[in-house]
Amino acid sequence: MFKCAPCASKALPAEYRAISELLFPPNGYPDDLGPSVEAAEAFSRILGIADEYNRFFKLHKSGGGAGQAMDDFLNRFQNNLDLLIQKTWVEKADEERKEKLLDVVPPFIVLIQKGDYPEALRNFGAILEELAYLFFGVQSQADDFAEYTLRIDPQIGLFWWYGGQINNIGEAPWLLKADKNVLLAMLLLGICYLTNF
């Protein structure tokens, strides 16, 4: 299973740790309120995707013409993710995993378009878990996976740290209580990153 060990935030570079822990506090959210839009926006800056993240988040909030622009953006995301999956070299035994992953992306997009962000976040965690496996093999299942990717590159490591946190959401108490804007903000972090990967 794609992991983000509780101590993984200690491996984050000091200049990123405070912002990252605002998004996913190591001891959980106070009063199970969940993350804030401001924490997601701050994380988008350290992840290097702030411009695109802000553009689509503000477009969504404004409502005017957002539907077509968001559909176009999600289409770009799906095309890029499909390319990433197809171009990933894997052992012959793992080819079926690639095909299954390609099959789960369109329903994930539909969940976002319908506004079912809690379910989309749960599904995104599974997508990121499979993607990590395709990229890194069994290393993605190690307890020190976040640390490993941080050594490769801090922004790549931050993304996979985020992915591990998303994958651990499961049935978090705050998930069904959270504002839709917060949930979309959480989704947009990964979607914007992968769209520009």
pLDDT exceeds cutoff 80 at 78:
yes
pLDDT in tens, 142-163: 988 988 999 999 999 999 999 9
**Mean pLDDT computed over 180-191:** 94
**Is residue 40 packed enough to be buried (19+ CB in 10 Å), middle (13-18) or exposed (0-12)?**
buried
67 or 5: whose pLDDT is higher? 67
Strand, coil or helix: 143 = coil
Q: Are 98 and 88 in contact (CB under 8 A)?
A: yes
Give the model's pLDDT for residue 1: 46
**Mean pLDDT computed over 39-55:** 94
pLDDT in tens, 49-76: 999 999 888 877 766 556 788 888 999 9
In the chain, domain spans: 6-195
Length of the chain equals 197
Q: How confident is the model at residue 14 (pLDDT cuts 50, 70, 90)?
A: confident
Residues 96, 44: Cα–Cα separation, whole Å: 33
pLDDT exceeds cutoff 70 at 7:
no
pTM: 0.90
